[in-house]
Amino acid sequence: MVILIFLHMARTFFFGAYKYPRELNWIIGVVLLVLTFVMSLTGYLLPFDQRSLWATIVASNITGNGPLVGPYMADFLRGGAEFGATTLSRFYAIHMLLIPGLIIALIGAHLYLVARLGTTAPPWIAAKSDNGMRSERV
Ligand code: HEM
């Protein structure tokens, strides 16, 4: 999913599909990208073996070192001051309920905007004007 999302993002970027009137769809896309990363992070802990446990402890320590809100965010992620069973159920709830719900809602909005605005033509397709002459791409 991460690879496909980057391919999709590159396609929309190189086709200039982020420009007016599709700015909002680009912004929704960026939020979808961040949510996909949150899915990766929360999903990684779920096997709860040594590798996933220590990798997630490192991630929560990095979060905890962030300025101002870092310690609060780390406490929120861990479900308390200590890393333990509560952390696992919290990551599970975030991974299978919270983020999928947000992703489904945002994909709905994303596709609604695509249906409303249409897709951007590839740069190599020049628009035809009324008199049949090829003109600037619109
Ligand atoms: C869960 C992730 C995503 C899904 C399922 C998704 C799905 C889609 C689909 C089906 C389309 C219409 C077909 C197309 O133009 O390719 C579309 C268009 C678009 N997407 Fe996404 N997208 C996602 C993430 C993103 C991201 C990360 C960005 C950019 C940051 C983005 C920006 C756009 C834009 C600007 C369009 C309009 C394209 C155009 O006008 O041709 N999307 N998206």
pLDDT in tens, 51-84: 999 999 999 999 999 999 999 999 999 999 999 9
What's the average model confidence in pLDDT over 15-30?
97
Residue 138 above 50 pLDDT? no
17 lines ligand 1 (CB under 6 A): yes
Q: Whose CA is nearest to atom 25 of ligand 1?
A: 29
Q: Whose CA is nearest to atom 27 of ligand 1?
A: 29
Residue 9: what are its φ and ψ, rounded to 5°? Answer: -65, -40
Q: Whose CA is nearest to atom 18 of ligand 1?
A: 114
28 lines ligand 1 (CB under 6 A): no
Burial string for 49-82 (b: 16+ CB within 10 Å, else e) reads eeebbeebeebbeebeeeeeeeeeebeebbbeee
42 lines ligand 1 (CB under 6 A): no
Q: For the whole prediction, is pTM greater than 0.85?
A: yes
